[in-house]
Amino acid sequence: MAIIYTTWVWLVLAEATILWGAVLVILLPFDRSSFLYLLTTRNWAKNILFLSGVKLKVEGGDKVPGYPCVFMSNPQSYFDVISLVAALRV
């Protein structure tokens, strides 16, 4: 069963990357403020999490500062990075 799920997740990852990557390539020339870039990458990540059946629970999201900063993590899997992209508002 793990092999089937792993295959499914890789197919979802490939599909989402191709779809949202194409959208980003089309929209990028019109994106002066990086808003469309952030929106597209967040939708890419949320799409992958949804289709993979991963439920994301964010705690302490109100503590993220509104000024420029660096986020560092020690990812244990690919889902850690995708989860950060989906959860962070900045």
Concatenate the DSSP letters of all residues of the chain into one string: -HHHHHHHHHHHHHHHHHHHHHHHHHHGGG-SSSHHHHHHHHHHHHHHHHHHTPPP---SGGGS-SS--------SSHHHHHHHHHH---
| Full-model pTM | 0.83
Looking up tokens 């020690």, which residue turns up?
74
pLDDT tens readout for residues 19-28: 999 999 999 9
The CA distance from 54 to 71, in Å, is: 22
Q: How far apart are CA 81 and CA 87, in angstroms?
A: 10
Q: How far apart are CA 77 and CA 31, in angstroms?
A: 31
Average of per-residue pLDDT values in the chain: 90
Q: What was the pLDDT predicted at 7?
A: 93
